[in-house]
Amino acid sequence: MSANDEFYSSEATRRLPSPGTGQSEPPPPVRTDRIDPSTDFGEDEDFVETRWHGGLDLGLLILRIAVGGAMLLKGLYKFGMFGGPGLESVADMLARKYDFTNETTLAWVLAVTEVGAGGALILGLFTPLAAAAILSITSCVVYLDRAVGYFPETIGANQGPGYAYPLLIGAGALALLFTGPGRASGDAGFSWRKRPVGWGVFGILLAAAAVLVVVLVFR
């Protein structure tokens, strides 16, 4: 074997074309398992899937439990559990403090929505609808308590609650509208988990419509 033949048959140059042949061995297949998951490959679903990891799913689960649990407990409290006032007292508060009409119906709708949306968000079921319902409730409270301000306000023996707490819960619901519930959820197989942006916009519009109905129709 000549030195020239030995060069072109070596392992380092085995894919180079031999003189006069114009042909070379095909390159080895690409190792896709070594691709950086953070690399942007557009909207290909397989590559989008690799961007998720266990820490992100755990964080979204914690956020869902915190936001959904807060609303679930508030709804049960309105029904009289945990020493709550009961629906009659809630209805009286809605009429006296916020000048709502048909307050009994509104008290029922509010309590049922808080329990249903809170429980659904904890389980990660119908997340866009559950988060939109929570966002509508908290947005309405922020609007009604805007005169009190962000911090509680003490007037004589009474204290206005301020809107810090509902604003924080609403921000969590708004975030979940655009992140989706994560893989540790009942919605794991639905499109809004992987493509939540459109559903997030829909949820904001739905929440805004609900606030308008409550403020304009029941007052």
Q: Give yes or no for residue 47 having a pLDDT over 50.
A: no
What is the C-alpha to C-alpha distance for residues 215 and 160, in angstroms, rounded to an integer? 20
Any idea what DSSP says for residue 218?
-
Q: Give yes or no for residue 165 having a pLDDT over 80.
A: yes
The pLDDT tens digits for 92-113 are 999 998 889 889 999 999 999 9
Please state the pTM of the whole predicted model: 0.72
Q: Give yes or no for residue 40 having a pLDDT over 70.
A: no
Mean local confidence (pLDDT), 64-72: 96
**Could you tell me the pLDDT band of residue 70, with boundaries at 50, 70 and 90?**
very high
Residue 14, both tokens? 């085995």
The pLDDT tens digits for 74-89 are 999 999 998 888 999 9
Q: How would DSSP label each residue in the chain?
A: --HHHHHHTSSTTTTSPPTTT---PPPPPP-GGGS-TTS--TT-HHHHHHT--HHHHHHHHHHHHHHHHHHHHHHHHHTTGGG---HHHHHHHHHHHH--SSHHHHHHHHHHHHHHHHHHHHHTSSHHHHHHHHHHHHHHHHHHTTTT-SS-EEETTEEE--SHHHHHHHHHHHHHHHH---SSSTTTTSHHHHSHHHHHHHHHHHHHHHHHHHHHH--
Q: Give yes or no for residue 176 having a pLDDT over 50.
A: yes
